[in-house]
Amino acid sequence: MRFWYAFACLLWFTGQSNGQNSLPNIVILYADDMGYGDLAIQNPDSKIPTPHLDELARQGTRFTDAHSSSGVCTPSRYALLQGRYHWRKFHGIVNSFDQPILDNDKTTLAELLKTRGYQTACIGKWHLGWDWDSIKKPGATPKSIADSKPQFAPEDFDWTKSISGGPLSHGFDYYFGDDVPNFPPYAWFENDRIITPPTVPLTTPKKTAEGSWEARPGPAVENWDFWDVMPQLTRKAVQWIEKQSADAPFFLYFPFTSPHAPIVPTADFQGKSKANGFGDFMVQTDDTVGRVIEALERKGFSKNTIVIFSSDNGPETYAYERLRNFNHRSMGPLRGLKRDLWEGGHRVPMVVKWPGKVPANRVCDELMSQIDLFATVAKIVNATIPSGSAEDSYDQMELWLNRGSSARKVLVHNTNANGYAIRSEDWLLIQAKSGGGISKVPDWFNQENRYLSNESSGALYNLREDLAQRNNLIDQNQDRAKKMALQLEDLKLQSQVR
């Protein structure tokens, strides 16, 4: 049986007689700060309609035990594109005007797909750094302005020059985006250049729909319009798809800037949810998914395109007040939010649609990591992963096709250098002095949800029996905890875990 399956795969990979491309197109749609419970189809009490994402889930497989590499954004993006744990290199985010974080000596997912003839594009939030020194003027240094941290002024850079280190330096043929929605420079990038030079310091005269601006001060294009960011990115993604041909496979990595702060839904979406401004921004996020899917269908690509949807981490701390005021749980049944080692920090929505290959209307509760996208895609397109690259990625094609169980039994969680967690089948061990929480948790939330146990000496949870992580079982399972702690240390020391 396996022989005939392998033979069929070989025929499919090597081409079709009609001369059209036989390799599948690949589209990764990557939400920003979207919680497990913000996907309506897996939250029966949701106050946010997500009809396009729900339909995508019905047409494909929804993974309920899928994880980003980190509880914050830069590390998760790094891990997805490199196929390796971020903590092997760093823990935190790339800040304004920081240098690139991707590895020049390792292959990215885009570079791997280029070896198989793919056209590649990144449209949206990059947040992996650029070589700002390449356009910085001699003698330019950040200056203290008012009560802010030191920052660069618009005149500190030669905006007419190309900027290396971005997407075009790591396998993408095309880039369009604003780099990071709440970091300077506030301007549109196309490929390796700024389109319109930033000439003024950022001003934010209007209120956001929810929460604070979270916009770092710095150079901006005059009258920069935060509300137009997601609409413009959506238009560009649709336009890029429409330019593609059936003769060559393509890879679109579309990291959204929503529903991350600043929470700025456009007028068309305001009031479309029952979960305040964030809910409306999620409805707009869902609409973007629908527009991309529609573009694929209009061009006749949908039957030969793998669409992967996920999020970089859990929801921001505004989720607590959203629950209290609007009764919407962005974290769903999980404990924790963005930054946390608890499940809500890194267990994220994940849907894979591949018509005729990945089963439709399936819900899979086996362990998955975004790190595994690299090796899985490599297997699908029959690409060879260079030695030393994607060392933490597992090929999950058998799981995707519902022909076997997850290749991954162990997964390490991390957001900062002060704490790690290790998942081993149903068990999760947290090793952090502050426990699994990093973001401040309101007392009312802990009381209402019975989160009263002490984690100062570590925590051990059986997630199959206690997904909400209320019952710390470490005292009753010291031998298991010690074994998992040793396993964690071994993994941290290994250069390869595949």
Report d(CA 214, CA 277) in Å as an integer: 15
Q: Tell me how far the alpha carbon of residue 472 is from its chain's centroid.
A: 29
Q: How far is CA 243 from CA 83, 111, 238, 324, 354, in A?
A: 29, 21, 9, 46, 21
Closest CA to 71 of 89, 53, 99, 93: 93
Q: Say which DSSP state 189 is in.
A: E
Which DSSP state fits 347? Answer: B
Name the CATH topology of 25-408.
Alkaline Phosphatase, subunit A (3.40.720)
| Phi, psi dihedrals of residue 373, rounded to the nearest 5° | -60, -35
Q: Under 8 Å CB-to-CB from 92, ≥6 apart: which residues?
A: 72, 74, 75, 416
pLDDT at 250: 98
* Strands annotated E in 80-213: 119-125, 174-179, 189-190, 193-194, 200-201
Angle at 94 between CA 88 and CA 99, to 5 degrees: 90
Backbone phi, psi, residue 302, to 5°:
-60, -35
Query: How far is 356 from 74, CA to CA, in rounded Å?
Result: 34
pLDDT at 4: 33
The tokens of 269 are what?
Answer: 């979406």
At 476, phi and psi to the nearest 5?
Answer: -85, -10
Q: Are the CB atoms for 345 and 313 separated by under 8 Å?
A: yes
> How many residues does the structure list for the chain?
498
Q: Which helix (H) or strand (E) holds 368?
A: strand 368-369
- Which pLDDT value is given to residue 75? 98
Nearest of 183, 191, 269, 202 to residue 236 by alpha carbon: 191
Using 70 as the pLDDT threshold, list the residues of the chain that sit under it: 1-21, 145-148, 495-498
The pLDDT of residue 497: 41
**Cα 434 to the chain's mean position, in Å?**
25
289: helix, coil or strand? helix
337-348 tens-digit pLDDT:
999 999 999 999
Model pLDDT, residue 20? 52
Distance CA 428, CA 423 (A): 4
Which residues sit opposite 202 in a β-bridge? none
The whole-angstrom separation of Cα 202 and Cα 186 is 8
Query: Rounded CA gap, 324 and 442, in Å?
Result: 11
> Are the C-beta atoms of 221 and 199 separated by less than 8 Å?
yes
Q: Which residues contact 146 (CB under 8 A, 6 or more apart)?
A: none
Is the Cβ–Cβ distance between 301 and 244 less than 8 Å?
Answer: yes
Q: How far is CA 486 from CA 38, 86, 305, 386, 479, in A?
A: 36, 20, 42, 30, 11
Structural tokens at position 320? 């607590």
Q: Is the pTM of this model over 0.85?
A: yes
Closest C-alpha among 252, 197, 206, 250 to residue 228: 206
Q: Tell me the residue type at 179.
A: D
- Nearest-angstrom CA–CA distance, 78 and 58: 29
pLDDT computed for residue 2 by the predictor: 33
pLDDT for residue 15: 42
pLDDT of residue 148: 66
